[in-house]
Amino acid sequence: MSLRFRQLQAFHAVIETGTVTGAAAHLGISQPGISNLLSQLERQTQLKLFARAKGRLVPTPEAGVLFQEIDTVVRGLDHVAQAVTDLQNQKAGQLQVVSPHALSIGFMPREIARFAERRPNLSISFQTQYSARIQEWVQAGLFEIGICEEPVLGDAFDATHFRFECQCALPEGSALATHERLTPEILHDYPFVVMGPEHMTNRQTREAFDAAGAVWNARVHTHLHQNTLSFVKQGFGAALVDPFTIAFDFEGGFVTRKFEPVVTLDLAVITSKHRALSEVGRDFLGGLLESIGRFAL
């Protein structure tokens, strides 16, 4: 089977943008052109990749698997194209950073803005992803610098490790705010907003309640740190929230208290052992480690 890259690129763009119209605008080709490429791909793979629902293309489970397999390849070639453009335009370097969602709302945009302030011609590539994919992208050379949740897998990285204490967030006006610190005993059967069951903060909190013989009432499950705090503001319960999400939330509607025993978010700043950092990357990394260290234990 000989698949053409343009077919995979069109498929990837439809998944990323959610529509044929968006994919066409992203790739600079016509909507019929996108539809034709998708039809070719389905014929060659003999897979049904999309179903129609209310006039929209809905990816099938097979499409989800294929997307995961080609995502890194398509993004990699996009980076190559961007690198060629930068060289043609003689741009003063490119900053390539990827981070988890918890740092993407306020912390990383602030750090990048500070760095770019004295570099007006800097080209910036910033993405957010889950930690396993972040490590994959840094190892593959798609990004120079990554911030990921522990554990760091394998020995392909130079890594600087940090631990961050999570605070217990409560809805504003909660009677529990009269306590200076909160424990599993105090929070016995109190509703919680929690990350997924395999997340480190979930495991640590569950172990703390089990050790205390207290009931951990996990009412809402979500997969983003910002979502946990949003549910707290809406009165769904308490949550153990990382310091970045708390520091860059300016809306209010919640209070925080220390939780004992301490629950931590463990992160690492990683670069490839086998690929030298650019001058831009080295300069940014020094400031990043200093800034992120201010939040650490």
> Residue 134's closest CA among 102, 86, 111?
102
Could you tell me the CATH number of the domain that includes residue 34?
A: 1.10.10.10
- Show the tokens assigned to 21: 């119209």
Q: Is the pLDDT at 22 greater than 90, yes or no?
A: no
Provide CB contacts within 8 A for 246, sequence distance 6+: 167, 169, 229, 256
Domain annotation covers residue 52: yes
Average per-residue pLDDT in the chain? 91
* % of the chain residues with pLDDT over 90: 62
44: Cα separation from own chain's centroid = 33
- Show the tokens assigned to 168: 């217990």
Per-residue pLDDT band at 119 (split at 50, 70, 90): confident
Domain annotation covers residue 82: no
pLDDT reported for residue 85:
65
pLDDT reported for residue 54:
74
The 10s digit of each residue's pLDDT in 120-178 is 878 899 999 999 999 999 999 989 999 999 999 989 999 999 999 999 999 999 999 99
> Residue 97's closest CA among 129, 53, 57, 51?
129
- 184 and 222 within one domain: yes
Could you tell me the CATH number of the domain that includes residue 214?
A: 3.40.190.10
- 134 and 185 within one domain: no
- Show the tokens assigned to 258: 């220390």
Q: Which of 27-36, 57-66, 236-245 has the highest mean pLDDT?
A: 236-245
Helices and strands: H and E segment counts in the chain: 10, 13
pLDDT reported for residue 50:
87
- 282 and 199 within one domain: no
- 272 and 150 within one domain: yes
Domain annotation covers residue 84: no
pLDDT reported for residue 282:
93
- Strands lying side by side in the sheet with 264-272: 123-128, 94-99, 145-149, 264-272, 157-165
Gap between the Cα atoms of 271 and 148, Å rounded: 11
Mean pLDDT of 30-47: 90
- 272 and 258 within one domain: no
Domain annotation covers residue 76: no
The 10s digit of each residue's pLDDT in 249-269 is 999 999 999 999 999 999 999
- Show the tokens assigned to 144: 């120079």
First-to-last alpha carbon distance for the chain, in angstroms, is 53
- 131 and 106 within one domain: yes
The 10s digit of each residue's pLDDT in 181-240 is 999 999 999 999 999 998 999 999 999 999 999 999 999 999 999 999 999 999 999 999
Strand partners, 247: none
Number of folded domains in the chain?
A: 3
- 153 and 105 within one domain: yes
Q: How many residues does the chain have?
A: 297
Q: Is the pLDDT at 111 greater than 60, yes or no?
A: yes
Q: What type of residue is 90? A: Q
Domain annotation covers residue 109: yes
- Hunting for tokens 């800097």 — which residue is that? 122
Domain annotation covers residue 233: yes
DSSP H helices in 102-187:
107-116, 131-140
Beta-strand runs (E) in 18-119: 50-53, 56-59, 94-99
> Residue 170's closest CA among 216, 224, 260, 237?
237
- 182 and 243 within one domain: yes
Q: Could you give the dihedral angle defined by the CA atoms of residues 168, 174, 180 and 182, in that order, rounded to the nearest 10 degrees? A: -50
- 231 and 174 within one domain: yes
Domain annotation covers residue 275: yes
- 251 and 272 within one domain: no
Query: Which stretch of 33-37, 211-215, 289-293 has the lowest confidence by average pLDDT?
Result: 33-37
- 97 and 62 within one domain: no
Gap between the Cα atoms of 198 and 215, Å rounded: 19
- Domain residue limits at 207: 167-262
- Show the tokens assigned to 289: 């480690």
- 179 and 52 within one domain: no
pTM strictly above 0.75: no
Domain annotation covers residue 63: yes
Strand partners, 138: none
